[in-house]
Amino acid sequence: MQIPEFTLQHSQQLSAFLASRKGAMTLPQSQGYLFAIICSPEPLDVHEWLEQIIPDTQGQLEEQMLFSFMAMYHQISEQVYETGFKLPVSLQIGADNENYLDLHECQQWCLGFVHGSQSYVDKLMQAGSLSVELKEALQTAYASLGFFALKPEVIATIAQQNQLSDAQLSQQQYELMGDFALGFAELIEIIAVQSGLYTDEEGSWN
């Protein structure tokens, strides 16, 4: 099927649709989740990832909505493997009021990312054949990309320990997220092959 380009209209449609479904992920959460599974050495079929985003649908969606989800998946995949990934969420920091800090979008994206990547990251971390350097690189990337999934009070404690305001730490971490997201798929591919658990001949990666 011809997959359309993912537009603002698709984004608004999906956001409203997901908000109307009980137990469904939010749009930013689903974007973080899709990023994680697109980078995964264990690809999921469409019906498998749709079931995670919208439970109890058995992958049955009206065609227009399915096309919107496919367009979003295709856009993320294209960015990851071809054009360079751009975080679809922004960090809201008040310019005039330093106390204003809205982490909601970033938190949702990170929760989706953790949900989609935790099982394969755990599996890779336990691979005996993996070097200490690669394990540390994976741990750092995973912690950075999932940073805003931490509870706000934990983020506040980390900021205090580093003698930063919550906003300063969040800005730093947001920028790091963007950097780590750019190379995450490549890192996973290298680690997956090194782990001996996967081979790139299986067609797991683009």
Residue 205: its pLDDT value, please? Answer: 40
Mean pLDDT on 163-169: 91
- The structural domain count of the chain equals 2
Residue 3 lies in a domain: no
Picking from 25, 20, 200, the residue whose alpha carbon sits closest to that of residue 112 is 25
Same domain membership, residue 187 and residue 126:
yes
Same domain membership, residue 170 and residue 107:
yes
* pLDDT (tens digit per residue) in 118-142: 999 999 999 888 899 999 999 999 9
List the structure tokens of 77.
Answer: 């995949």
Residue 132: its pLDDT value, please? Answer: 92
Average pLDDT, whole number, for the chain?
A: 90
What residues make up the domain containing 73?
8-83
pLDDT band at 182 (very low <50, low <70, confident <90, very high): very high
Residue with the larger pLDDT of the pair 33 and 1:
33
List the structure tokens of 175.
Answer: 């920028």
Sign of CA dihedral 26, 27, 33, 34: positive
Residue 1 lies in a domain: no
Same domain membership, residue 64 and residue 36:
yes
Residue 162: its pLDDT value, please? Answer: 95
Q: How far apart are alpha carbons 144 and 117 in whole angstroms?
A: 13
**Residue 126 CB neighbours (<10 A):** 11
Q: Is 174 a residue whose pLDDT tops 60?
A: yes
Mean pLDDT on 190-204: 74
Q: Is 97 a residue whose pLDDT tops 80?
A: no
Same domain membership, residue 100 and residue 63:
no
Residue 198: its pLDDT value, please? Answer: 79
Same domain membership, residue 126 and residue 70:
no
pLDDT band at 4 (very low <50, low <70, confident <90, very high): confident
Q: Is 143 in contact with 180 (CB distance < 8 Å)? A: no
Same domain membership, residue 68 and residue 99:
no
